[in-house]
Structure 1
Protein backbone atom coordinates (compact mmCIF):
# COMPACT_ATOMS: atom_id res chain seq x y z
CA UNK A 1 0.00 0.00 0.00
CA UNK A 2 1.17 3.51 -0.80
CA UNK A 3 1.91 5.75 2.15
CA UNK A 4 0.00 9.02 2.06
CA UNK A 5 1.00 12.28 3.72
CA UNK A 6 -1.58 14.98 4.42
CA UNK A 7 -0.87 18.19 2.55
CA UNK A 8 -1.63 20.14 5.73
CA UNK A 9 1.39 18.49 7.36
CA UNK A 10 3.58 19.37 4.38
CA UNK A 11 2.36 22.96 4.41
CA UNK A 12 3.20 23.30 8.10
CA UNK A 13 6.58 21.54 7.86
CA UNK A 14 7.77 23.45 4.77
CA UNK A 15 5.98 26.73 5.53
CA UNK A 16 4.10 26.82 2.20
CA UNK A 17 0.48 27.55 1.46
CA UNK A 18 -1.97 24.96 0.24
CA UNK A 19 -2.58 27.25 -2.74
CA UNK A 20 1.02 26.68 -3.84
CA UNK A 21 0.62 22.89 -3.71
CA UNK A 22 -2.77 23.09 -5.39
CA UNK A 23 -1.29 25.25 -8.18
CA UNK A 24 1.41 22.64 -8.80
CA UNK A 25 -1.33 20.03 -9.05
CA UNK A 26 -3.38 22.17 -11.47
CA UNK A 27 -0.27 22.68 -13.63
CA UNK A 28 0.12 18.90 -13.87
CA UNK A 29 3.40 18.91 -11.95
CA UNK A 30 2.12 16.99 -8.94
CA UNK A 31 -0.50 14.34 -8.26
CA UNK A 32 -2.68 14.70 -5.19
CA UNK A 33 -5.25 12.31 -3.77
CA UNK A 34 -8.38 13.34 -1.93
CA UNK A 35 -9.88 11.04 0.67
CA UNK A 36 -12.75 12.14 2.92
CA UNK A 37 -12.26 15.83 2.07
CA UNK A 38 -8.57 15.69 2.99
CA UNK A 39 -5.86 16.08 0.37
CA UNK A 40 -2.83 13.80 0.43
CA UNK A 41 0.37 13.28 -1.50
CA UNK A 42 2.08 9.94 -1.99
CA UNK A 43 5.61 9.33 -0.78
CA UNK A 44 6.71 8.90 -4.39
CA UNK A 45 5.49 12.43 -5.21
CA UNK A 46 6.98 13.96 -2.05
CA UNK A 47 10.53 14.16 -3.43
CA UNK A 48 9.28 16.05 -6.50
CA UNK A 49 7.26 18.40 -4.31
CA UNK A 50 10.20 19.13 -2.02
CA UNK A 51 12.38 19.96 -5.03
CA UNK A 52 9.72 22.37 -6.29
CA UNK A 53 9.36 23.94 -2.83
CA UNK A 54 13.13 24.58 -2.76
CA UNK A 55 12.99 26.19 -6.22
CA UNK A 56 10.15 28.41 -5.05
CA UNK A 57 11.52 29.38 -1.63
CA UNK A 58 15.28 29.48 -2.18
CA UNK A 59 15.40 30.65 -5.79
CA UNK A 60 12.11 32.59 -5.79
CA UNK A 61 10.87 30.80 -8.91
CA UNK A 62 7.14 31.05 -9.62
CA UNK A 63 4.84 28.23 -10.76
CA UNK A 64 5.33 29.01 -14.47
CA UNK A 65 9.12 28.92 -13.99
CA UNK A 66 8.93 25.64 -12.09
CA UNK A 67 6.78 24.23 -14.88
CA UNK A 68 9.34 25.29 -17.52
CA UNK A 69 12.29 23.94 -15.52
CA UNK A 70 10.52 20.62 -14.91
CA UNK A 71 9.70 20.29 -18.61
CA UNK A 72 13.31 21.00 -19.60
CA UNK A 73 14.69 18.53 -17.04
CA UNK A 74 12.36 15.84 -18.41
CA UNK A 75 13.62 16.57 -21.94
CA UNK A 76 17.24 16.28 -20.76
CA UNK A 77 16.46 12.92 -19.12
CA UNK A 78 14.83 11.69 -22.34
CA UNK A 79 17.83 12.77 -24.40
CA UNK A 80 20.23 11.10 -21.98
CA UNK A 81 18.25 7.87 -22.27
CA UNK A 82 18.28 8.11 -26.09
CA UNK A 83 22.02 8.70 -26.03
CA UNK A 84 22.53 5.66 -23.79
CA UNK A 85 20.48 3.49 -26.19
CA UNK A 86 22.43 4.76 -29.20
CA UNK A 87 25.77 4.13 -27.49
CA UNK A 88 24.68 0.58 -26.70
CA UNK A 89 23.73 0.04 -30.35
CA UNK A 90 27.14 1.26 -31.51
CA UNK A 91 28.91 -1.16 -29.19
CA UNK A 92 27.06 -4.14 -30.68
Structure 2
Protein backbone atom coordinates (compact mmCIF):
# COMPACT_ATOMS: atom_id res chain seq x y z
CA UNK A 1 0.00 0.00 0.00
CA UNK A 2 1.41 3.39 -0.96
CA UNK A 3 2.40 5.80 1.79
CA UNK A 4 0.22 8.60 0.33
CA UNK A 5 -2.92 6.51 0.96
CA UNK A 6 -2.29 6.43 4.70
CA UNK A 7 -3.30 8.99 7.32
CA UNK A 8 -1.21 9.43 10.47
CA UNK A 9 -3.23 8.51 13.56
CA UNK A 10 -1.92 11.47 15.56
CA UNK A 11 -3.06 13.82 12.78
CA UNK A 12 -6.57 12.34 12.87
CA UNK A 13 -6.70 12.56 16.65
CA UNK A 14 -5.68 16.21 16.59
CA UNK A 15 -8.13 17.04 13.80
CA UNK A 16 -11.10 15.29 15.44
CA UNK A 17 -10.05 16.18 19.00
CA UNK A 18 -10.01 12.59 20.21
CA UNK A 19 -7.55 10.61 22.30
CA UNK A 20 -5.23 8.05 20.73
CA UNK A 21 -6.54 5.61 23.34
CA UNK A 22 -10.01 5.85 21.73
CA UNK A 23 -8.52 4.82 18.37
CA UNK A 24 -6.63 2.02 20.12
CA UNK A 25 -9.88 0.80 21.68
CA UNK A 26 -11.56 0.70 18.26
CA UNK A 27 -8.57 -1.19 16.85
CA UNK A 28 -8.58 -3.70 19.74
CA UNK A 29 -12.27 -4.42 19.02
CA UNK A 30 -11.47 -4.98 15.34
CA UNK A 31 -13.50 -1.96 14.20
CA UNK A 32 -10.68 -0.16 12.40
CA UNK A 33 -7.54 -1.15 10.58
CA UNK A 34 -4.20 0.26 11.69
CA UNK A 35 -1.06 -0.16 9.62
CA UNK A 36 2.43 0.34 11.01
CA UNK A 37 5.15 1.67 8.74
CA UNK A 38 8.59 2.19 10.27
CA UNK A 39 7.11 2.24 13.80
CA UNK A 40 4.54 4.91 12.85
CA UNK A 41 0.85 4.03 12.92
CA UNK A 42 -1.55 4.95 10.13
CA UNK A 43 -5.14 4.39 9.07
CA UNK A 44 -5.86 3.71 5.38
CA UNK A 45 -7.48 6.74 3.76
CA UNK A 46 -10.47 4.73 2.53
CA UNK A 47 -11.27 3.71 6.15
CA UNK A 48 -11.40 7.27 7.53
CA UNK A 49 -15.13 7.55 6.71
CA UNK A 50 -15.93 4.65 9.05
CA UNK A 51 -13.74 6.19 11.74
CA UNK A 52 -15.61 9.50 11.34
CA UNK A 53 -18.93 7.68 11.89
CA UNK A 54 -17.56 6.04 15.02
CA UNK A 55 -16.29 9.37 16.33
CA UNK A 56 -19.71 10.99 15.77
CA UNK A 57 -21.47 8.12 17.55
CA UNK A 58 -19.01 8.41 20.42
CA UNK A 59 -19.17 12.19 20.76
CA UNK A 60 -22.79 12.95 19.86
CA UNK A 61 -24.43 9.96 21.54
CA UNK A 62 -21.78 9.30 24.21
CA UNK A 63 -21.47 5.65 23.18
CA UNK A 64 -18.38 3.77 24.33
CA UNK A 65 -16.27 1.66 21.94
CA UNK A 66 -18.04 -1.56 22.93
CA UNK A 67 -21.39 0.07 22.13
CA UNK A 68 -20.03 1.24 18.79
CA UNK A 69 -19.05 -2.36 18.07
CA UNK A 70 -22.64 -3.47 18.73
CA UNK A 71 -24.05 -0.66 16.56
CA UNK A 72 -21.77 -1.47 13.62
CA UNK A 73 -22.58 -5.19 13.88
CA UNK A 74 -26.30 -4.38 13.83
CA UNK A 75 -25.84 -2.04 10.85
CA UNK A 76 -24.04 -4.84 8.97
CA UNK A 77 -26.90 -7.22 9.72
CA UNK A 78 -29.49 -4.67 8.56
CA UNK A 79 -27.53 -4.15 5.33
CA UNK A 80 -27.31 -7.90 4.79
CA UNK A 81 -31.05 -8.32 5.38
CA UNK A 82 -31.83 -5.47 2.97
CA UNK A 83 -29.71 -7.13 0.30
CA UNK A 84 -31.41 -10.47 0.93
CA UNK A 85 -34.84 -8.83 0.70
CA UNK A 86 -33.94 -7.12 -2.58
CA UNK A 87 -32.72 -10.46 -3.97
CA UNK A 88 -35.91 -12.20 -2.85
CA UNK A 89 -38.08 -9.50 -4.44
CA UNK A 90 -36.13 -9.85 -7.69
CA UNK A 91 -36.60 -13.63 -7.74
CA UNK A 92 -40.30 -13.23 -6.96
CA UNK A 93 -40.74 -10.83 -9.88
CA UNK A 94 -39.00 -13.29 -12.21
CA UNK A 95 -41.21 -16.10 -10.94
CA UNK A 96 -44.35 -14.05 -11.54
CA UNK A 97 -43.24 -13.16 -15.08
CA UNK A 98 -42.45 -16.78 -15.90
CA UNK A 99 -45.87 -17.97 -14.69
CA UNK A 100 -48.07 -15.43 -16.42
TM-score by length of 2: 0.88
SS across alignment from 1:25: helix
Q: Which ranges in structure 2 are unaligned for 5 or more consecutive residues? A: 95-100
How far residue 91 of structure 1 moved from its aligned partner, in angstroms, is 1.0
Distance in 2 between residues matched to 1:39 and 1:49, nearest whole Å = 15
Runs of 4+ aligned residues of structure 1 deviating over 4 Å after TM superposition are none
Which of the residues 33, 50, 65 maps onto 1:48? 50
Is 2:87 the partner of 1:82? no
What's the counterpart of residue 33 of structure 1?
35
What RMSD over aligned residues (CA atoms) do the two structures have, in Å?
1.0
Deviations 1:47-71 (A, max 9, x none): 0000000111111100111011001
Distance in 2 between residues matched to 1:34 and 1:19, nearest whole Å = 16
Distance in 1 between residues matched to 2:33 and 2:75, nearest whole Å = 18
What's the counterpart of residue 19 of structure 1?
21
Task: Work out which of the two has the higher radius of gyration on C-alpha atoms and give 1 or 2.
Answer: 2
